């Protein structure tokens, strides 16, 4: 910072040499750097450290080496939590992307009205907690609207959140419903990047709408689609709110996703160290996915460029 004060004068040549800008840069970066160091970097290091201890938050932590990681290998609940999370991610991402793509095509072909797009994005604006409470009611086996409607056609009643066979699927589909309009907006935005000329020449060639969709639109939005899928997949892995409010991991642990299990261990069972070890594993999984994302994004850039 001292370097700037000595070189305050404007510099007509190139707008400042490297050395003089370091001080200014530090000032511009200071708040973000401080926040990053204290609330991102420090906890990252601490998280690893924590994973090597046994700690109930009350007494002093005990160093246990890699015991927590060894215990993870024999923890069937942990394995099950990973499996349940995987089921959630697969069901959520496939249905959400398929619905989002369909809606995006409709936004493009049928109506480009902002009102339509605004209405379809409403559930995404509503917090997960609220969605969980509303769907708990709508999907209730006794007084819920959905079961009432299913009853009219002779189906059910189905305990969507209450049946261990359906509960995680229900959570996944509820979130797909919440996010499909938003996903559609992202894909729709991608479609707008396709030059209109391409469509016009297809028109002249007399290609029908289906051909335009499958031969032009879909291949050209593939990069954006890939990006949307990977980004939402990373988000999907971190499913917590809906489970925490609607099912609390139940019935009989059928919705105990990895985030919820970590949360339970840390804040309900007082096993901070063990929870930290699990979150290290989760971090590794997400890092691998992020590297994958980076590759996809790079591919996307070169495709669109």
Partner 1 sequence: MTDTAHTRRHLRPGRILGWAVLILLIVVTLLPFAWAIRTALTPNAQIFSGDYSLIPPDATLLNFERVLGLVDTKTDLEAGGSGAKMYFWLYLRNSIIFTALMVLGQVTTATMAAYAFARLHFPGRNLIFGLFLTGMMIPPIFIVLPNYVLINNFNLINMFTGQLAPYFLVFPFAIFFLRQFFLSIPKEVEEAAHLDGAGHFTIFRRIIVPMSWPPITTIAIIQAVFAWNEYLWPQLVGKDHAVRLLNVALAAFQEASPTTRPDWAGLMAAATLQVIPMLLLLLFFGRKLVGSIALSATK
**Residues in 94-113 at the binding interface with partner 1, rule: CB under 8 A:** 103, 106, 109-112
Nearest to 51 by CA among 282, 272, 268: 272
3-state secondary structure of 54: strand
CB of 73 to partner 1, least distance (A): 20
CB of 197 to partner 1, least distance (A): 11
CB of 79 to partner 1, least distance (A): 18
Residue with tokens 């490297």: 18
- Cα separation, 120 vs 146, in Å, equals 20
**Residue 88 touching partner 1 (CB under 8 A):** no
Element (H, E) at 63: strand 62-63
CA 166 vs CA 2, 49, 158: distances in Å: 64, 38, 9
CB of 245 to partner 1, least distance (A): 5
Nearest to 182 by CA among 259, 257, 235: 235
CA 94 vs CA 87, 89, 238: distances in Å: 11, 8, 16
**Residue 36 touching partner 1 (CB under 8 A):** yes
Residue from 82, 218, 286, 299 binding partner 1 (CB under 8 A): 286
Q: Which stretch binds partner 1 (CB under 8 A): 29-37, 64-72, 80-88, 164-172?
A: 29-37
User: Is the Cβ of residue 83 or residue 125 nearer to partner 1 in the bound state?
Assistant: 125
Nearest to 280 by CA among 77, 49, 31: 49
Contacts (CB under 8 A) with partner 1, residues 7-26 = 8, 10-12, 15-18, 21-22, 24-26
Residue from 86, 267, 269, 295 binding partner 1 (CB under 8 A): 267
> How is residue 28 written in tokens?
């511009």
On whether the CB atoms of residues 66 and 49 are closer than 8 A, the answer is no
CB of 255 to partner 1, least distance (A): 16
Q: Which stretch binds partner 1 (CB under 8 A): 62-70, 71-79, 165-173, 278-286?
A: 278-286
Helices (H), the chain: 2-6, 18-36, 42-50, 67-74, 76-109, 114-120, 122-125, 128-138, 145-152, 167-192, 196-204, 209-211, 218-236, 241-242, 258-267, 272-304
On whether the CB atoms of residues 121 and 204 are closer than 8 A, the answer is no
Contacts (CB under 8 A) with partner 1, residues 183-202 = 185-186, 188-190, 192-193, 196, 199-200
**Residue 280 touching partner 1 (CB under 8 A):** yes
CB of 87 to partner 1, least distance (A): 19
- Cα separation, 63 vs 54, in Å, equals 6
**Residue 221 touching partner 1 (CB under 8 A):** no
3-state secondary structure of 4: helix
User: Is the Cβ of residue 22 or residue 94 nearer to partner 1 in the bound state?
Assistant: 22
**Residue 274 touching partner 1 (CB under 8 A):** no
Q: Which stretch binds partner 1 (CB under 8 A): 77-85, 87-95, 164-172, 272-280?
A: 272-280
The residue count for binding partner 1 (CB under 8 A) is: 106
> Per-residue contact track with partner 1, 124 to 143, x per CB under 8 A?
xxxxxxx-xxxxxxx-x--x
CB of 151 to partner 1, least distance (A): 10
């Amino acid at each position: 910072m001292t370097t700037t004060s000595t070189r305050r004068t404007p510099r007509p040549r190139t707008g400042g040499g490297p050395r003089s800008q370091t001080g200014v840069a530090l000032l511009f970066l200071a708040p973000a750097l401080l926040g990053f160091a204290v609330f991102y970097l420090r906890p990252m290091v601490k998280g690893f450290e924590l994973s090597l201890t046994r700690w109930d938050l009350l007494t002093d932590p005990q160093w246990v080496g890699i015991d927590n990681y060894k215990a993870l290998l024999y923890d069937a609940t942990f394995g099950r939590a990973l499996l349940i999370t995987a089921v959630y991610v697969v069901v959520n991402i496939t249905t959400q992307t398929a619905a989002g793509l369909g809606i995006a095509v409709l936004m493009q072909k049928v109506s480009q009205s902002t009102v339509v797009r605004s209405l379809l994005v409403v559930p995404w604006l509503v917090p997960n907690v609220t969605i969980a409470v509303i769907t708990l009611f709508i999907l209730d086996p006794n007084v819920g609207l959905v079961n009432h409607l299913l009853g009219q056609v002779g189906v059910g009643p189905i305990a969507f959140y209450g049946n261990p066979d359906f509960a995680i699927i229900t959570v996944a589909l509820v979130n797909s419903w919440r996010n499909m309009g938003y996903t559609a907006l992202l894909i729709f935005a991608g479609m707008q990047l396709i030059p209109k000329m391409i469509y016009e020449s297809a028109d002249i060639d007399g290609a029908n709408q289906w051909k335009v969709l499958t031969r032009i639109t879909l291949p050209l939005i593939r990069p954006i689609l890939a990006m949307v899928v990977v980004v939402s997949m990373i988000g999907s892995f971190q499913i917590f709110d809906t489970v925490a409010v609607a099912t609390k991991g139940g019935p009989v642990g059928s919705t105990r996703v990895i985030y919820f299990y970590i949360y339970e261990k840390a804040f309900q069972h007082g096993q901070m160290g063990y929870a930290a070890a699990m979150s290290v594993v989760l971090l590794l999984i997400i890092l691998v996915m992020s590297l994958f994302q980076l590759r996809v994004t790079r591919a996307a850039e070169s495709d669109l460029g």
